[in-house]
Amino acid sequence: MHAAASPPGSQTPQAYDSEFALQLEKLRELLGTYLRAEDIERVAEAFRFSAEAHKDQFRISGDPYFSHPLAVAGILTGWHLDAQALMAALLHDVTEDTEITPAEIGERFGKVTAELVDGVSKLDKIEFQSIEDAQAENFRKMLLAMARDVRVILIKLADRLHNMRTLDTLRPDKRRRIARETLEIYAPIANRLGLNNLYRELQELAFRHVWPLRYRVLSKAIKAARGNRREVVGKILAGIKARLAEAGIEAEVMGREKHLYGIYRKMRGKSLTFSQVLDIYGFRVIVRDVPTCYLVLGALHGLYKPVPGKFKDYIAIPKGNGYQSLHTTLIGPYGTPVEVQIRTTEMHHVAEAGVASHWLYKDDKSLSELQQRTHKWLQSLLELQSASGDSAEFLEHLKIDLFPGEVYVFTPKGRILPLPRGSTPVDFAYAVHTDIGNRCIACRINHELMPLRTELRNGDQVEVITATHANPNPAWLSYVKTGKARSQIRHFLKTTQQEESVALGERLLAQALRPLDLSFERIGEPVWDKFVLECGAKSKTEVLTDIGLGKRLPAIVARRLAERIEKGEAAVEARAQGPILIRGSEGMAVQLAHCCRPIPGDPIVGVIKKGQGLVVHLADCPSISIRGRGERGKWVDVEWERDSGKLFEAAIKIEAENRRGVLAKVAAEIAEAGSNIQHVTMDDEQGVYTSLYFTLQVSNRVHLARILRALRAIPEVVRIARVRE
């Protein structure tokens, strides 16, 4: 990245070789602290290969291009990554910017190194519709490679960090685009993997380039405040150390200034001015074991008063990325809020280096659980990919999933699940298992039946009620929060809609073929193959799906298929064009219009609508008569199937005397007539009469007439009518 074909200035071959030799020696020194001699030689060989491949390339800054892969490898040595990862870091731009292929890298440096390089490389050889599509596909490829080997993302994050550190050489618009991408994707990924130091630095660098003026103003304000608050910070630090010494607790205590982006986000989120953000300093206490953490907490709460509701125990309930600490906010001297984090040495390792601490601190016992958490999240990416239709959708779901879980809820067996703030029982169901989400019909929160759209709170115990024949509801998409829930619901609905659309497409095409003396079965595969090729579809199934969704008119498809039938074939017995039978249970491919709410017994007509399939209206529905003859080509003859056994929605309006108990009488009569009330509303006007609006479930028009007769018999009912609009 940031490469130029030729140097802005000139550099002699001798100077280039001298710089290379100097950097190689520095790299050897770094690696000598933790790698074996033979591994150091392999990495040095990869550096030579990379420097030779990039010999005629320079960064926009004028530096030799090899300085970039070398810097990326240097960042990875800070995490003590192995030789394969370091070789991949040194070679990660070779396949993009030179003629060298992944196969050549595999032969020379091993299959694993080649796979790591391929996972990090962009998809430059494929043409995309837009920059957004290319970006989405690059992320999808990188994250799927990361699911197989986490080192891919560690290399990519190190690559992004160095590019962000050297971003000043680019145009302002390009700087903003890369910085925004870093804030939206790379920084959250670093956070999700527990790479806290990297996460903070990426945020700070991105903040400086996305909002440069705000960054400068806030930076200046921090410097001014630093002098004013130095005395307060020193007093708090001395007070904490003295109290812990009195309690006989050995601890390392440090004060730290909060990051600019964290302060800016707090100001923006809570609409505060800088002077109102008092806690720009935080304190960290590091001790030897978990019991001591709680002893420190007690000692500090005795020193300064804690702020109610500002204590968080991430030791008992760790964050999704494995982070553990006790967080408490105290009221310090002069009324200043003081934020304190208390953790053990092992927790501190994980908090600072996250998943990279697997290489950095191999003896830590807490790392095995962290690896399991990371592996589980990486596997969830594979589930997201399989459920997402395309790269852009995958990226959308990933962005939703990347922001850290804030709500911790319990399963009936006491297992803790972290979910994003605002999650619902549907998100919880999909977090437990995809099948439970798909079959979810109701839930109990803290042993009480609650709606599925209820927002979950910390500590809720959630029990999901499932049914064998239940399916996801499209309405869930309006309130679910997690990427997994959203992608699985969409995947199910797409699959179901396609199956139903294919079945409807077959029925519509068969109906359109009858006037042409053809049957659906009569059309052979060769005819279909020619038609599919000519119309630009992928398959016969796609053509039938398009017919079912209203994207292709069945009459035109039928005519073009008939033209391809050989004239010499035997004649087919002509049949009258029969109507399509409507059962009411066809699913999403056949919809009953909301504007007129047809029910069995009503005269009906079908209209093919693009993207919706077949929409069934009343024959005299104003919405189709307004469109007039222009859409007659899209009309389809339909009839109700007898005794479908399905219930349909019908709306009625009742005007009744405004007396006590009227609603109860009406509801009782509806229940007595064998109907269920789906929805009820009433006018708020306090007059002599009131209007009641009911949505009822009925089996047919006769059933509705029976209900209306029963309601007219109520003395208080003045007028009653079916509502069709």
- Measure the CA–CA gap between 293 and 659, rounded to whole angstroms: 66
Sign of the CA dihedral with 347 first, then 352, 355, and 361 last:
negative
Q: Is there a catalytic annotation at residue 96?
A: yes
Cα 427 to the center of its chain, rounded Å: 12
User: Active site includes 132?
Assistant: no
Question: What would the two tokens of residue 296 be?
Answer: 């420190």
Q: Is 183 exposed, middle or buried (0-12, 13-18, 19+ CB in 10 A)?
A: middle
Cα–Cα distance for residue pair 262/264, rounded to 1 Å: 5
DSSP state of 170: S
Please give the DSSP secondary-structure letter assigned to residue 567: T
Class of residue 58 by CB neighbours under 10 A (exposed 0-12, middle 13-18, buried 19+): buried
Burial of 579: CB neighbours in 10 Å, binned 0-12, 13-18, 19+: middle
Ramachandran region of residue 536, left (φ > 0), alpha (ψ -120 to 50) or beta? left
Which member of 19, 96, 455, 463 is catalytic?
Answer: 96
Q: Is 329 in a helix, a strand, or coil?
A: strand
Three-class secondary structure of residue 368 per DSSP: helix
Q: Which of 405, 476, 481, 470 is nearest to 440 (CA)?
A: 470
Encoded amino acid at 706, one letter: R
Buried b (16+ CB within 10 A) or exposed e, 604-631: bbbbbbeeebbbbbbeebeebeeeeeee
Q: Are strands 648-657 and 590-592 parallel, antiparallel or unpaired?
A: unpaired
CA 418 to chain centre: 15
Q: Cα separation of 440 and 295, whole Å?
A: 44
CB atoms within 10 A of CB 552: 22
The amino acid present at 48, given as its one-letter code, is: R
The string of DSSP codes covering 577-627 is -PPEEE-S-S-TTEEE-TTT---TTS-EEEEEETTTEEEEEETT-HHHHHH
Dihedral, 313, 318, 322, 324 alpha carbons, nearest 10: 20
The active-site residue out of 97, 201, 463, 639 is: 97
Neighbours of 356 (CB within 10 A): 27
In angstroms, what CA-CA distances link 158 with 135, 136, 163, 269?
18, 20, 9, 29
Active site residues: 96-97
